[in-house]
Amino acid sequence: WEGGGAMAAVSAAGPAGLYGLGTGGLVLLGLVPGAPSCPHGPALLFAKTSQGKEEGRRFYACSACRDRKDCNFFQWEDEKVSETRLAAREEYNRNCQPPFTHRQNVERYKNFILLPLSKRRFCQECQQLLLPAEWENHSGHQFLCDISTVQLQLPSQLLYPLENKKTNAQYLFADRSCQFLLDLIINLGFRRVLSVGTPRLHEMIQSKASQEEDFRVRSLLLDIDFRYSQFYTEDEFCHYNMFNHHFFGGEAAHETCRKFLYQDSGERVIMVADPPFGGLVEALASSFKKLMSLWKETEKEDHDNQEMPVFWIFPYFFEARILEFFPSFTMMDYQVDYDNHALYKHGKTGRRQSPVRIFTNLTPSTIVLPAEEGYRFCTICQRYVSSGNQHCEMCNSCTSKDGRQWKHCVLCQKCVKPSWFHCNNCNRCILQNHTCEKADAGCFVCGKTGHKRSTCPSLART
Ligand code: SAH
Ligand code: ZN
Ligand code: ZN
Ligand code: ZN
Ligand code: ZN
């Protein structure tokens, strides 16, 4: 195993996830007790696979970074690590932590807002609010001046988005989508939002709370982007890794989260997560389950047989994978738009339609989608669907996943993408100019002959 992070190989599989890798893939075995730690918390255990079977030595790699350049942690599962190396590793992990602690950043912020406008500077290179005594150290750097209170309330606009796809993949909600989410949350009666990897939603809530007196919603941001600790207190932001459920702030931060989830006086909580799309679905699901059980533990009598309400924002082609872990979830047709993602902007603006959707365990009929964007209610499916999504009599459901009108294939006995045709060779619908799957080669997923990836029984669990 060399070059490229473990997750790089996995995410390269794209929509099909791990299974799509065929030969030479990697499989995530998960977070195991006693796993070694890198600067991003406990590492995850992986194994190489060949023809769908685990093969070779298992190893640990960083949970958060899918690029070796961002974190090159690697250790064989059975590797003996000497005391000296362990000590060196611990020191390295400590040294990788940010220059200021969250506590220090909160103190710095308090001092910063006392400064007159003319002395409020933000270093763009270090992505840091500067106190006058520090100007000297940043003399060669680009900085912004006269940082206003409004700017401080909108840090996602002050900070540049960490777009590097392999690690942060920070794609910020377009204002319309963010507003839609917040309105939806409020109309559903929620008063608390656990914002997991959704700094812009958090910021919209926080800034409204400070401006509008009767605005009652509160938010706690959990994100790996520590730059946000400059703008929020320990009750508003936790430095968190959603691939291994690691709170960098230790037990105190964990407790903050637990307290936030404890709903007193009927203040209902919802979790909204928008993880990097290259991320491993099973690692995310396992962290989300931990957050959900943290909620469940808080008020036992009330939560019998209930799940913490969740919006998991993710592309539609992960539907099967998400439902595998959360059978109670449904995918909504709403297309989530982003500011800094050229591909994921809304169709109406002439761009491609966004493939990003909301997965939720709330009753679909309660998720009202905006009529002015063409969404309508299907009385048979009891959910809102996009304008192009026609109800199919044969399937008895609104079958489109991508917003375009799909067509029913009688041979496949299901609806398929409009661009697909039934191929008698492959015995399924597929793009017209495809190369037919060879009959003699084994299945891409499990390696057995007699069927293809598309009909592999090991995928039929959902
Ligand atoms: N659309 C959201 C941002 C989603 S981008 C919004 O506008 O609010 C993905 C977010 O997840 C980023 O904020 C990124 O910093 C965060 N993130 C990436 N990897 C993470 C990890 N391992 N743990 C926690 N947060 C992570
Ligand atoms: Zn600087
Ligand atoms: Zn159909
Ligand atoms: Zn067909
Ligand atoms: Zn074919």
Per-residue pLDDT, averaged over 390-402, amounts to: 96
Instruction: Identify the architecture of domain 175-387 in CATH.
Output: 3-Layer(aba) Sandwich (3.40)
* Cβ(177) – ligand 1 distance below 6 Å: no
CA atoms within 13 A on the CB side of 165: 7
DSSP result, 176-191? HHHHHHHHHHHHTTEE
* Cβ(64) – ligand 1 distance below 6 Å: yes
Which residue from 118, 96, 199 is spatially nearest to 153, judged by alpha carbons?
199
Distance 439 CA to ligand 1 centre (A): 43
Which residue from 251, 230, 260, 223 is spatially nearest to 103, judged by alpha carbons?
230
Question: pLDDT value at position 369?
Answer: 97
Lowest mean pLDDT: which of 16-30, 35-49, 353-367, 392-406? 16-30
Lowest mean pLDDT: which of 33-37, 315-319, 422-426, 436-440? 436-440
Which residue from 302, 210, 235, 214 is spatially nearest to 265, judged by alpha carbons?
302
* Cβ(336) – ligand 1 distance below 6 Å: no
Q: Which pLDDT band, with edges at 50, 70 and 90, does 277 fall under?
A: confident
Question: pLDDT value at position 279?
Answer: 73
Instruction: Give 329-341 pLDDT, tens digit per residue.
Output: 999 999 999 987 6
* Residue with the larger pLDDT of the pair 300 and 275: 275
Question: What does the alpha-carbon distance between residue 429 and residue 408 come to, in Å, rounded to a whole number?
Answer: 10
Per-residue pLDDT, averaged over 181-188, amounts to: 98
Distance 12 CA to ligand 4 centre (A): 28
- Site to probe by mutation for ligand 1, drawn from 274, 334, 335 as the one with most ligand atoms within 8 Å of Cβ, is 274
CATH code of the domain occupying 102-147: 3.30.160
Please name the residue that has the structure tokens 């992505």: 127
Q: 209 to each of 193, 203, 213, 218, how far by Cα in Å?
A: 13, 10, 7, 7
Per-residue pLDDT, averaged over 71-81, amounts to: 94
β-partners of residue 357 are 314
Q: What is the 8-class DSSP label of residue 282?
A: H
Per-residue pLDDT, averaged over 192-210, amounts to: 97
Q: Where are the domains of the chain?
A: 24-96, 102-147, 175-387, 432-461
| Contact residues for 308 (Cβ-Cβ < 8 A; gap 6+) | 261, 269, 270, 271, 291, 292, 295, 296
The pTM of this model reads: 0.88
Please name the residue that has the structure tokens 């939720």: 360
Top mean-pLDDT range of 23-32, 120-129, 434-443: 120-129
Nearest ligand, CA of residue 291? 1
In degrees and rounded to multiples of 5, residue 329 shows phi and psi of -85, 150
Instruction: Give 136-167 pLDDT, tens digit per residue.
Output: 999 999 999 999 999 999 999 999 888 776 67
Protein residue with least CA distance to atom 21, ligand 1: 241
Per-residue pLDDT, averaged over 363-376, amounts to: 96
Asked if residue 13 lies in contact with residue 25, where contact means CB atoms within 8 angstroms, the answer is: yes
Question: pLDDT value at position 457?
Answer: 67
Burial-class residue 461 by CB neighbours within 10 Å (0-12, 13-18, 19+): exposed
Confidence check: pLDDT of 196 > 50 = yes
Instruction: Give 77-94 pLDDT, tens digit per residue.
Output: 999 999 999 999 999 999
Question: What does the alpha-carbon distance between residue 44 and residue 120 come to, in Å, rounded to a whole number?
Answer: 42
Nearest ligand, CA of residue 195? 1
* Cβ(243) – ligand 1 distance below 6 Å: yes
Question: pLDDT value at position 303?
Answer: 65
Reduce the DSSP state of residue 436 to 3 states and report it. coil
Asked if residue 71 lies in contact with residue 62, where contact means CB atoms within 8 angstroms, the answer is: yes
Question: What does the alpha-carbon distance between residue 313 and residue 331 come to, in Å, rounded to a whole number?
Answer: 9
Give the other-Cβ count within 10 Å of 351's Cβ: 14
Question: pLDDT value at position 266?
Answer: 74
The torsion angle over the Cα atoms of residues 29, 31, 37 and 41, rounded to 10 degrees, is 130
Protein residue with least CA distance to atom 9, ligand 1: 170
